[in-house]
């Protein structure tokens, strides 16, 4: 009952005219960002953070704007998956498998509508899950001391590559790079400077937001220049939507199963939305069995991954809000934003900033409804946006990013850093080294170091404190499992994915 009360208060915050406006802006921008290949949820949110700062938004409005972008991107990713067979962002990868074949059969509008409904169900159920689970977990999270946090951060790193990660070594390289960058600046446990060479600008370390914008947005610009991809995608005509109640009912059980699986995958730190959509799709195929025609345009093959990735996206907010440990790249960016606003995520957030948290949760419900409306009747507008040539789009993105970064600190040096990170991002992508682990390394590394040193300070240097409680032992067990699983079942799963992808392509060709 108490929770319900808080939630009602949250709706009072979310339903104020300006917050409704920010949710709507966020939903629209998010859908566009998600739909455009190359711009994903983490950089979309990162680019908008400086903007939220320079507008001087109050914490709740800023967070509502950014979580709406996040939710919107999860919807938007499917559009280019279905129409172009190019995932708009990583979590939308699995949607290509049946979405594009549906579009080839002249059922693009149906695929978009079904996936929007599945996304809606996924988001809705996961937000309800968040409402139920988060306050319980927040109370429980008080039991997390330095040793437990250290185990938890290790778990986040262990599951970073995800089960689908192609090359674990490259993931490790990326994470180490992030860890190294994070050591620059004052070491708070001793008060000493590390790698600052008496350059004052380095004393507070490398700004996380600058690194994200550089790594993602600027490197994308460099790729664009390299490819001279001046033309947009060809204009696409959508067929007239013919969706009966029966079609919707047919995908309901699929969406429900996908939502539950996706939510669980999201709650686990480090795993994230891509895993959510992958698991949902794979399981749906198993459940439906021979009667399905997956890979050839089965509507259930569109509904499952979309319900899964939207549910996972909201699920990833659970560890971020209750423990301060992000479950994905985007939640890491949101966490950085919260910290910049002097709001400490963690167990006490729900008692100390109740209005803010519940306002944002209520905004998730509101935003989700807006997104459903945006993504079925108004889908044509977003499809048109896809045909905007990148030669107009990329300069705008770069401009917004640069102005935003400069507006935070008025420091030209920050712009140089941003460009430097852009070059680094370009290089890494050329080497097929993933970027998200760099970001998570930068954000989680210092926290992990801090908890280790705190634990050892408390125990006077006795290492056994790290596994002395049942809770930490449990987390260690999951971490070890997370580390081993990719080697045990990863190759099998990847082989299946490859087979799937080939099948799709053979239809295409």
Partner 1 sequence: MSKISLVRKNTLPFLVAVTLSASAVAQSAQAFEQSRSAECIAPANPGGGWDFTCRSVGKVLTELGAISGNVQTVNMPGASGGVAFAHTVSKRANDSALFVAASTATTTRLAQGQFPGMNQDMVRWVGALGADYGVIAVAKDSPYQTLTDLMNALKNDPNSVKFGGGSATGGWDHLKVLIASRAAGLDTASLPKIKYLAYSGGGEAITQVVGGHLDGFTGDISEAQGFMESGDLKVLAVLSEERLPAPLDNIPTAREQNIDAVAPNWRGFYVPKDVSDEAYQWWVDTMDSVYSSTNWQNIMQQNGLMPFHKSGAEFDQFVRDQVQSIKEISTEIGLIK
Contact indicator for 428, 176 with CB cutoff of 8 Å: no
What residues numbered 394-453 form the site for partner 1, per CB under 8 A?
408-411, 450
Q: Is 359 in the site for partner 1 (CB under 8 A)?
A: no
Q: Select the residue interacting with partner 1 from 348, 373, 480, 508 (CB under 8 A).
A: 348
For partner 1, the closer CB: 250 or 409: 409
Distance CA 203, CA 188 (A): 11
Taking the complex as a whole, how short is the minimal distance between the CB of residue 330 and partner 1, in angstroms?
A: 21
Taking the complex as a whole, how short is the minimal distance between the CB of residue 465 and partner 1, in angstroms?
A: 11
Q: Is 469 in the site for partner 1 (CB under 8 A)?
A: no
Q: Is 189 helix (H, G, I), strand (E, B) or coil?
A: coil
Alpha helices in 328-411 (DSSP H): 329-340, 349-352, 354-375, 379-386, 390-409
Q: Select the residue interacting with partner 1 from 5, 167, 352, 387 (CB under 8 A).
A: 352
For partner 1, the closer CB: 116 or 206: 206
Going by C-alpha positions, the residue among 74, 67, 133, 152 that lies closest to residue 337 is 67
Q: Is 464 in the site for partner 1 (CB under 8 A)?
A: no
Q: Is 346 in the site for partner 1 (CB under 8 A)?
A: yes
CA atoms within 13 A on the CB side of 315: 29
> CB under 8 Å to 357, separation ≥6 — which residues?
10, 321, 349, 350
Total binding residues for partner 1 by CB under 8 A? 41
For partner 1, the closer CB: 341 or 435: 341
For partner 1, the closer CB: 369 or 408: 408
Q: Is 190 in the site for partner 1 (CB under 8 A)?
A: yes
Burial of 483 (0-12, 13-18, 19+ CB in 10 A): middle
Going by C-alpha positions, the residue among 157, 143, 156, 159 that lies closest to residue 469 is 143
Taking the complex as a whole, how short is the minimal distance between the CB of residue 9 and partner 1, in angstroms?
A: 16
Taking the complex as a whole, how short is the minimal distance between the CB of residue 186 and partner 1, in angstroms?
A: 6
Taking the complex as a whole, how short is the minimal distance between the CB of residue 440 and partner 1, in angstroms?
A: 17
Taking the complex as a whole, how short is the minimal distance between the CB of residue 49 and partner 1, in angstroms?
A: 11
Taking the complex as a whole, how short is the minimal distance between the CB of residue 209 and partner 1, in angstroms?
A: 10
Q: Is 239 in the site for partner 1 (CB under 8 A)?
A: no
Q: Is 351 in the site for partner 1 (CB under 8 A)?
A: yes
Q: Is 457 in the site for partner 1 (CB under 8 A)?
A: yes
Q: Select the residue interacting with partner 1 from 21, 136, 188, 484 (CB under 8 A).
A: 188
For partner 1, the closer CB: 188 or 484: 188
Q: Is 5 in the site for partner 1 (CB under 8 A)?
A: no
For partner 1, the closer CB: 50 or 161: 50
What the block records as the tokens of 77 is: 């990713």
Per the DSSP assignment, residues forming a β-bridge with 187 are: 192
Distance CA 314, CA 297 (A): 27
Contact indicator for 318, 267 with CB cutoff of 8 Å: yes
What residues numbered 97-156 form the site for partner 1, per CB under 8 A?
142-146
Apex 214 CA angle, 82 and 204, nearest 5:
140
DSSP 292-342: --TTS--HHHHHHHHHHHHHHHHHTHHHHHHHS--SSHHHHHHHHHHHHTT
- The interface region with partner 1, picked from 12-20, 69-77, 181-189, 397-405 by CB under 8 A, is 181-189
Q: Is 470 in the site for partner 1 (CB under 8 A)?
A: no
Taking the complex as a whole, how short is the minimal distance between the CB of residue 326 and partner 1, in angstroms?
A: 15
Taking the complex as a whole, how short is the minimal distance between the CB of residue 315 and partner 1, in angstroms?
A: 23
For partner 1, the closer CB: 343 or 360: 343
Q: Select the residue interacting with partner 1 from 167, 189, 239, 387 (CB under 8 A).
A: 189
Q: Is 344 helix (H, G, I), strand (E, B) or coil?
A: coil
CA distances 462 to 364, 412, 445, 454, Å, are 44, 46, 22, 12
Pairing outcome for strands 192-194 and 185-187: antiparallel
Burial of 171 (0-12, 13-18, 19+ CB in 10 A): buried
What residues numbered 302-341 form the site for partner 1, per CB under 8 A?
324, 339-341
The alpha-carbon radius of gyration of the chain (Å, integer) is: 22
Q: Is 454 in the site for partner 1 (CB under 8 A)?
A: yes
Which residue has 């907010």 as its token pair? Answer: 317
For partner 1, the closer CB: 201 or 226: 201
**93 phi/psi in degrees, rounded to 5:** -55, -50
Binding residues for partner 1 (CB under 8 A) = 53-54, 56, 142-146, 186-191, 193, 198, 200-201, 203-204, 324, 339-344, 346-348, 351-352, 408-411, 450, 454, 457-458, 460
């Amino acid at each position: 009952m108490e929770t319900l009360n808080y939630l009602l208060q949250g709706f009072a915050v979310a339903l104020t005219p300006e917050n409704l406006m920010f949710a709507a802006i966020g939903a629209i921008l998010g859908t566009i960002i998600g739909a455009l290949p190359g711009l994903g949820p983490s950089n979309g949110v990162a680019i908008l953070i400086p903007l939220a700062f320079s507008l001087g938004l109050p914490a709740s409005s800023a967070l509502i704007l950014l979580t709406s972008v996040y939710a919107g991107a999860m919807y938007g990713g499917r559009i280019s998956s279905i129409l172009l067979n190019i995932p708009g962002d990583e979590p939308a990868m699995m949607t290509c498998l049946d979405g594009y074949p549906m579009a080839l059969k002249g059922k693009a509008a149906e695929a978009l509508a079904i996936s929007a409904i599945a996304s809606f169900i996924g988001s809705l159920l996961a937000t309800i899950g968040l409402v139920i689970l988060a306050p319980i977990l927040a109370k429980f999270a008080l039991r997390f001391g330095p040793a437990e946090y250290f185990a938890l951060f290790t778990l986040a790193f262990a599951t970073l590559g995800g089960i689908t990660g192609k090359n674990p070594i490259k993931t490790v390289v990326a994470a180490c790079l992030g860890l190294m960058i994070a050591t620059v600046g004052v070491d708070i446990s001793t008060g000493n400077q590390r790698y600052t060479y008496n350059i004052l600008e380095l004393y507070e370390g490398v700004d996380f937001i600058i690194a994200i914008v550089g790594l993602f947005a600027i490197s994308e610009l460099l790729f664009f220049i390299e490819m001279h991809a001046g033309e947009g995608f060809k204009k696409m005509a959508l067929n007239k939507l013919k969706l009966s109640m029966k079609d919707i009912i047919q995908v309901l059980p699929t969406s429900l199963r996908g939502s539950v699986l996706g939510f669980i995958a999201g709650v686990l730190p480090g795993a994230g939305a891509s895993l959510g959509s992958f698991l949902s799709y794979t399981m749906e195929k198993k459940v439906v069995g021979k009667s399905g025609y997956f890979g050839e345009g089965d509507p259930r093959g569109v509904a499952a991954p979309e319900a899964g990735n939207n549910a996972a996206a909201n699920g990833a907010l659970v560890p971020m809000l209750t423990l301060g440990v992000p479950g994905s790249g985007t939640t890491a960016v949101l966490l950085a934003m919260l910290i910049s606003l002097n709001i400490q995520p963690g167990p006490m957030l729900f008692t100390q900033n109740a209005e803010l948290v519940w306002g944002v949760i209520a905004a998730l419900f509101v935003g989700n409804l807006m997104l459903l409306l945006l993504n079925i009747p108004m889908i044509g507008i977003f499809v048109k946006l896809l045909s905007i040539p990148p030669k107009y789009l990329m300069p705008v993105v770069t401009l917004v990013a640069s102005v935003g970064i400069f507006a935070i600190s008025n420091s030209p040096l920050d712009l140089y850093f941003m460009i430097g990170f852009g070059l680094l991002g370009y290089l890494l992508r050329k080497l097929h080294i993933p970027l998200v682990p760099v970001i998570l390394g930068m954000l989680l590394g210092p926290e992990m170091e801090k908890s280790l040193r705190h634990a050892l300070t408390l125990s006077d240097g006795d290492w056994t404190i790290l596994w002395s409680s049942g809770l930490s032992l449990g987390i260690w067990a999951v971490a070890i499992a997370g580390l081993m699983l990719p080697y045990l079942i990863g190759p099998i799963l990847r082989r299946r994915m490859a087979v799937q992808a080939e099948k799709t392509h053979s239809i295409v060709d």
